[in-house]
Amino acid sequence: MKHRGIKFLLGILLLPIAVALSMSFGRVVMILAQAPDRLPLLPAFAGIAGIVIWLLIWLFLPPLTRTYILGHELTHALWTVLFGGKAFGLRVNHR
């Protein structure tokens, strides 16, 4: 219960930072949209498109927990092999 209160307090304390970053991001996008040569608009569009696509995937697809865990474990296996170890017996299940 104590950790939950600390997490809640930390979340409240981080809200002003999140708001400031969101406002700054919005201003940057507006400045880029008003650029005379419109070339900087492409990276801004790509960034916004990436955020929107991620949000749609997060909202409408079921959580890909197994895929995430598999990627996580493959990262461990990769680093084990890179440092001279042996990786074998990798299993991912629903637990």
* Residue 95, domain extent: 64-95
Average pLDDT over every residue of 18-29: 89
**11 touches 3 (CB < 8 A):** no
| Size (the chain), residues | 95
Half-sphere exposure of residue 1, counting CA atoms within 13 Å on the CB side?
A: 0
43 and 72 in a common domain: no
- Nearest residue to 92 (alpha-carbon basis) of 79, 80, 75: 75
Distance CA 41, CA 44 (A): 5
| Domain identity same for 50 and 68 | no
Same domain for 35 and 53: yes
Same domain, yes or no: 76 and 44: no
Q: What is the pLDDT of residue 42?
A: 73
User: Which residue type occupies 65?
Assistant: T
pTM of the model: 0.43
- Could you tell me if 12 and 56 lie in one domain? yes
Residues 36-75: tens digit of each pLDDT = 776 666 777 788 888 899 899 888 888 777 788 888 889 9
Check whether residue 75 and residue 56 sit in a common domain: no
Q: Are residues 69 and 57 in the same domain?
A: no
Mean pLDDT of 3-7: 89
